[in-house]
Structure 1
Amino acid sequence: MDLLDFLNKNYYILVPALWVIGYALKQTPKIANWTIIWILLGLSITIGTFAFGFSADAILNGIIAAGVAVLGHQMFKQTLGGRNGKRKIITVEEKKTEKIEET
């Protein structure tokens, strides 16, 4: 089962729009990374309720659209990061060395 099965077809366009907005927010230095998902969630719910009326269904679909956008981005990012070898496995000894150097 796909996440898009839970999302109303009218909200499909919202997912790539949220990706673009999220990318723009990521490039903005004054916005902390942890706030981006909350901004996207708020925008998704707001756009959904304005476009399709204020209802529980509109709010739920806004939440699902934001979730699909964030999950899709993370899946893409994690897959490319893992495949390109960008990840470095830090051993316990390296962590201990880092802590000693910090003090």
Structure 2
Amino acid sequence: MDMTQYIKPELLVLIPVCLIIGLVIKHTEAVGNKYIPLINGIVTIVLSAIWIVSTTPFVDAQSVASAIFIAIIQGVLCAGAATYGNQLIKQAKKEE
């Protein structure tokens, strides 16, 4: 599967960022593991929004709404890809 069909190539860097954030949170034990995907989702949405705002000319309300939509979708996709990748690694290590 080619991730660039869904995730903007410039935002693919958010996937390893999510993995690192998840590992840091898990090792600090400051937050329960069940909240790591939620935190990653919020972080990637915010980072996607920053990138979109910095690269998109806003001319009307429609372009603003489109930027918000794209930021949310790209953030969710990046967080989902990171979570999926993390689970693939965990499952590959299990012995059955």
Q: Shared topology, TM-score over 0.5?
A: yes
Matches within 5 A, 1:56-75: 56-75=69-88
| Alpha-carbon distance between aligned partners in 1 of 2:44 and 2:22, rounded to the nearest angstrom | 11
Matches within 5 A, 1:54-93: 54-81=67-94, 85=95, 87=96
| Alpha-carbon distance between aligned partners in 2 of 1:16 and 1:58, rounded to the nearest angstrom | 18
Task: Tell me the residue number matched to 2:45.
Answer: 45
**In the TM superposition, what is the alpha-carbon distance from 1:30 to its structure 2 partner?**
2.4
Return the TM-score normalized by structure 2: 0.78
Task: Tell me the residue number matched to 2:10.
Answer: 10
| Alpha-carbon distance between aligned partners in 1 of 2:2 and 2:84, rounded to the nearest angstrom | 12
Greater RCO (CA < 8 Å, at least 6 residues apart): 2
| Alpha-carbon distance between aligned partners in 1 of 2:26 and 2:43, rounded to the nearest angstrom | 15
Q: Which sections of structure 1, spanning at least 5 residues, go unmatched?
A: 88-103
Return the TM-score normalized by structure 1: 0.73
Aligned Cα root-mean-square deviation (Å) = 1.4
Identity across matched positions, percent: 27
Runs of 4+ in structure 1 off by over 2 angstroms are: 1-5
- Of structures 1 and 2, the larger Rg is shown by 1
| Alpha-carbon distance between aligned partners in 1 of 2:82 and 2:38, rounded to the nearest angstrom | 12
Task: Tell me the residue number matched to 1:30.
Answer: 30
C-alpha offsets along residues 54-100 of structure 1, whole Å, 9 cap, x if unaligned?
Answer: 4211211111000000001101111112xxx2x5xxxxxxxxxxxxx
